[in-house]
Amino acid sequence: MLFQVLQIQLETSTASLGRTEPVLHRIVTCLSIAASMEGENDQNNQLEEPYIQPFILRLLIIWLVDCSNAVNCLLESAVHLNFIIELASNKRYAACVRGLAAVVLGACILYNASREKGRDAFAVADAISQKIGLTTYFLRFDELRKSLAHPLSEQHHRKELSRSSANSMSDFQEIEEDETNKGDQHPVLSEIFDSQFVNLLTKLEADIRENIMDIFSRTKTATAVLPTELEQKNGEVDEEYIKRLKSFVEKQCNEMQDLLARNAMLAEELLRTGGGTTTDTSQKPSSGRERVQIEALRQELEGAKRQIGALKSEKSQIEAEANNQRNLSVKLESDLKSLSEAYNSIEQANYRLDAEVKALRQGGSVPYPDVEAIKAQAKEEAEKDSEAELNDLLVCLGQEQTKVEKLSTRLAELGEDVDTLLQGIGDDTAIPDDDDEDDEE
Higher pLDDT, 436 or 380: 380
Residue type, 29: T
Cβ proximity of 115 and 103 under 8 Å: no
- CA torsion sign for 231, 235, 240, 242 is positive
- The span from the CA of 222 to the CA of 395, in Å, is 114
Average pLDDT over residues 197-213: 90
| pLDDT value, residue 110 | 92
- The span from the CA of 269 to the CA of 272, in Å, is 5
Q: What is the CA radius of gyration of the chain?
A: 57
| pLDDT value, residue 387 | 81
| pLDDT value, residue 228 | 67
Q: What is the largest CA-CA distance in the chain?
A: 184
| pLDDT value, residue 165 | 40
Task: Give bridge partners of residue 22 from the DSSP assignment.
Answer: 9
- The span from the CA of 433 to the CA of 384, in Å, is 21
pLDDT at 104 over 90: yes
Whole-number Cα distances in Å, 107 to 11, 22, 33, 305: 29, 19, 22, 45
Least confident interval from 10-14, 170-174, 280-284, 374-378: 280-284
What backbone torsions phi and psi does residue 9 show, to the nearest 5 degrees? -85, 125
pLDDT at 171 over 90: no
pLDDT above 90: percentage of residues in the chain: 12
- 49-53-56-57 Cα dihedral, nearest 10 degrees: -150
pLDDT in tens, 318-352: 888 888 888 888 888 888 888 888 888 888 888 88
- The span from the CA of 290 to the CA of 262, in Å, is 16
pLDDT at 66 over 70: yes
Neighbours of 290 (CB within 10 A): 10
One-letter-per-residue 3-state SS of the chain: CHHHHHCCECCCCCCCCCCCCEHHHHHHHHHHHHHHHHHHHHHCCCCCCCCHHHHHHHHHHHHHCCCHHHHHHHCCCHHHHHHHHHHHHCCCCCHHHHHHHHHHHHHHHHCCCCCCCCCCHHHHHHHHHHHCCHHHHHHHHHHHHHHHHHHHHHHHHHHHHHHCCCCCHHHHHHHHHHHHHHCCCCHHHHHHCCHHHHHHHHHHHHHHHHHHHHHHHCCCHHHCCCCHHHCCCCCCCHHHHHHHHHHHHHHHHHHHHHHHHHHHHHHHHHHHCCCCCHHHHHHHHHHHHHHHHHHHHHHHHHHHHHHHHHHHHHHHHHHHHHHHHHHHHHHHHHHHHHHHHHHHHHHHHHHHHHHHHHHHHCCCCCCCCCHHHHHHHHHHHHHHHHHHHHHHHHHHHHHHHHHHHHHHHHHHHCCCCHHHHHCCCCHHHHHHHHHHHHHHC
pLDDT in tens, 122-156: 889 889 988 898 888 999 999 988 887 755 555 54
pLDDT at 232 over 60: yes
pLDDT at 85 over 70: yes
Average pLDDT over residues 276-302: 58
**Has this prediction a pTM greater than 0.85?**
no
- CA torsion sign for 38, 44, 45, 49 is negative
pLDDT at 179 over 50: no
> Would you give the distance in Å from CA 273 to the centre of its chain?
32
Residue type, 418: V
pLDDT at 400 over 80: yes
pLDDT in tens, 304-322: 888 888 888 888 888 888 8
- The span from the CA of 240 to the CA of 268, in Å, is 42
Q: What is the overall mean pLDDT for the chain? A: 74
Domains of the chain: 1-161+181-220 (1.25.10.10), 242-357 (no CATH)
Q: Do you know the residue count of the chain?
A: 441
Binned at pLDDT 50, 70 and 90, residue 222 comes out as: very low
- The span from the CA of 34 to the CA of 51, in Å, is 10
Binned at pLDDT 50, 70 and 90, residue 363 comes out as: low
| pLDDT value, residue 103 | 94
